[in-house]
Amino acid sequence: MARARTIHGVSVSPGLAIGPVHVVRAAPDAVPHWSVPEADIESEIARLRRAIAAASEELLRRQRLVAEQTGERDAQIFAVHRMILQDPGALRDVEETLRADRINAEAAVHALIQRLERTLRPLEGNSVRSYSADLSDPWREVLQALMHVVQPEISGDGKVILAAAVLTPQVVTAIERERLLGIVAEAGGRFSHAAVLARAFGVPCVVGLPGLLPRLEQGMQLAVDGGRGTLELRPGEEQIVDFQARRQRLEQRRATFAERAGDPARTSDGGSLQVQVNIESLRDFDIFNCAHSDGIGLCRTEFLYMERPQFPSEDEQFRMYRRVLERMAPKPVTLRTLDIGGDKRLPYFQTPKEENPALGWRGLRVSLEWQDLLRIQLRAALRAGVGRDLRILLPMVTSIEEVDATRRIFDGVRTSLLEHGWEVESDVPVGIMVEVPSVLFCLEDLLPHVDFVSVGTNDLVQYLLAVDRDNPWVSKLYEPHHPAVLRALARVAEVAGKAGRPSSVCGDMADDPATAILLMGMGFTSVSVAPYFLPEIKFAVRRTTLVAARELAAEVLSQSHVEGVKAVLAAFRERQLV
């Protein structure tokens, strides 16, 4: 029997699923292209319009199906898609292409889809909505109608895992909900319409699996871990048994976690850990209970910018931040200032092409170069923070000079607001992200200038180990449990503690319960995690003691090998958290 292959992707919807795969495609692999005689142009346009009508009917069918299964709110996705097909501008665009180039309707529609993707794909970054899919999906339906494409039949009445090139609403609704075990896709956005549907359906879903489809065969057995964002190909019998047992345990444990998710994360000997959540959008509030969280430890404000065709105004930002603060009140909300650059680009803001963008013009470096962007954002945040527990977090800090410069801008914005009659809180904490190694060596000097620190482990690990985790040649070297990384974290907690500054970890590393206990043992006062992991982290803290957490930290920090660290953490899980 072939050995299972584990592929790592991006989590869209948590949960575990195992079963046969059915490969579907949102669009044909090959689009025919031919020249149309001038005399036949009008008949070709009539064929195009008939296909649009047929696609609209299919979307209406899906809309009614989803309305019956999950309600009108989720069904509105297909209503929007029908409206897109009614856009006279897009139809005029296709018809003009058809007339000017004298090509067939399929080729003209395909050209429109490609233009949409070229225009909108720059809006898409890691973990953000897929605009190109949202706007091109309805036209793919038209393309299929023109070509009379029939998706491969999903035979029988058994349950399956769907696999596709792109996560789209058409993929999510390709089969009855009760038969849908899970979904995997080569590409797709975490906040695309399709992702919203997948979460509403409650099915495990993983995207970001390039090159997946050529490795699949219809009916191949897959195991999907939506929470971890992993996929196993052809799991063996032993692995299947293990996976099913893990799924049953997970269901039982999550029921237990949910019962006490609102209880504080306190140990039996008086220790405590603030457990907050990371969010990217107001939509994130739909997937967790605000009462269960100790606040928002990281609000990635750049996604407000990435979800718009131009820079959001001060009032737009004010309204968004105010809604976030009000949803979490009276608990704290930490807004990270604009963190663009690298893989997060704005289509309306031209940044230089860089050979190594991860080490280039990004984060606070952009804000200090384009200070008006920072001033507008700070004005909106300070206005929104009145009567609320607002905190400001600065990304990609490397020096005291950067912090001092930002502080001067912050103080100037606050003074200007007061002078113009705006009410502003007298004390809004300002903190820094610890993600650049230089900060580790000047932290004692930096702390008097800031109110708190938050470690972004995703980038800190990358920079400490000189590993691009998105580079397949070296991604296996990306190891959050490397002893150097853990010793760096321990240093941050120790120095911050001596200076009386709160310290937090907001990277993916904190999502693991044993690692969260380790961080508490090091001295961190809080962690900020993906909402899905919130109940389990709080449960883990209540299952242990502060003494045990400190002993775990001491034992882990004494290890010189990654495998030794992992063995210690595994033993702790078995001993304390099972």
Same-domain status, 62 and 175: no
Same-domain status, 472 and 383: yes
Cα–Cα distance, 370 to 43 (Å, whole number): 53
Cα–Cα distance, 326 to 381 (Å, whole number): 13
Cα–Cα distance, 110 to 105 (Å, whole number): 8
From 193, 292, 481, 482, active-site residue: 193
Under 8 Å between Cβ of 33 and 228: no
Q: Is the pLDDT of residue 128 over 80?
A: no
Task: Name the 3-class secondary structure at 426.
Answer: coil
Which amino acid is residue 546, in one-letter code?
L
What the block records as the tokens of 3 is 């050995």
Same-domain status, 44 and 91: yes
Q: Identify whether 256 is part of a domain.
A: no
The secondary element (H helix, E strand) that includes residue 56 is: helix 41-70
Position 126 scores a pLDDT of 43
List C-alpha distances in Å: 497 to 55, 287, 441, 457, 493: 61, 33, 16, 19, 6
What the block records as the tokens of 483 is 């002893």
Q: Identify whether 102 is part of a domain.
A: yes
Grade residue 358 by pLDDT with cuts at 50, 70 and 90.
confident
What the block records as the tokens of 293 is 């969280």
Same-domain status, 114 and 222: no
Give 120's contacts (C-beta < 8 A, 6+ positions apart). Answer: 131, 132, 135, 347
Q: What is the pLDDT of residues 169-180, one digit of tens each?
A: 778 887 888 889
Same-domain status, 189 and 47: no
Q: What is the pLDDT of residues 532-552, one digit of tens each?
A: 789 989 999 999 999 999 999
List C-alpha distances in Å: 304 to 50, 260, 327: 38, 33, 17
Grade residue 420 by pLDDT with cuts at 50, 70 and 90.
very high
Cα–Cα distance, 228 to 222 (Å, whole number): 15
Position 315 scores a pLDDT of 94
Same-domain status, 231 and 328: no
Phi, psi angles (nearest 5°) of residue 372: -60, -35
For residue 351, the tally of other CB atoms under 10 A from its CB is 15
Cα–Cα distance, 246 to 224 (Å, whole number): 12
Output the CA angle 461-467-473, nearest 5 degrees. 145
Cis omega (within 30 of 0) for bond into 330: yes
- Structurally, the chain folds into a number of domains equal to 3
Mean pLDDT of 253-279: 90
Q: Is the pLDDT of residue 352 over 90?
A: no
Same-domain status, 365 and 503: yes
CATH label of the domain that carries residue 182: 3.50.30.10
Same-domain status, 81 and 130: yes
List C-alpha distances in Å: 485 to 437, 488, 490, 492, 495: 10, 5, 9, 11, 16
> What DSSP assignment string belongs to 63-127?
HHHHHHHH-HHHHHHHHHHHHHHT-HHHHHHHHHHHHHHTB-HHHHHHHHHHHHHHHHGGG--TT
Is pLDDT larger for residue 15 or for residue 323? 323
Give 568's contacts (C-beta < 8 A, 6+ positions apart). Answer: 552, 555, 556, 559
What the block records as the tokens of 254 is 């999550």
Phi, psi angles (nearest 5°) of residue 278: -95, 135
Closest CA to 99 of 31, 43, 38: 38
Grade residue 8 by pLDDT with cuts at 50, 70 and 90.
confident
Q: What is the pLDDT of residues 248-262, one digit of tens each?
A: 887 887 788 878 888
What are the respective helix, strand and coil percentages of the chain, to the nearest 5? 55, 15, 35
Q: Is the pLDDT of residue 512 over 60?
A: yes
Q: Is 205 a catalytic residue?
A: no
Domain boundary among the residues 85, 113, 147 is at 147
Task: Name the 3-class secondary structure at 453.
Answer: strand
Mean pLDDT of 57-80: 78
DSSP one-letter code for 159? -
CATH label of the domain that carries residue 429: 3.20.20.60
Q: Is 506 a catalytic residue?
A: yes
Which residues does residue 18 pair with via DSSP β-bridges, in sequence order? 223
Same-domain status, 406 and 284: yes
Cα–Cα distance, 133 to 406 (Å, whole number): 38
Domain carrying residue 75: 27-147
Same-domain status, 35 and 135: yes
Q: Identify whether 261 is part of a domain.
A: no
Position 183 scores a pLDDT of 96
Q: What is the pLDDT of residues 199-244, one digit of tens each?
A: 767 789 999 888 888 788 888 899 999 988 889 999 888 888 888 8
Same-domain status, 165 and 134: no
How many Cα atoms within 13 Å fall on the side-chain side of residue 189? Answer: 23
Q: Identify whether 11 is part of a domain.
A: no
Domain boundary among the residues 205, 221, 251 is at 251
CATH label of the domain that carries residue 47: 1.10.274.10
Same-domain status, 178 and 124: no
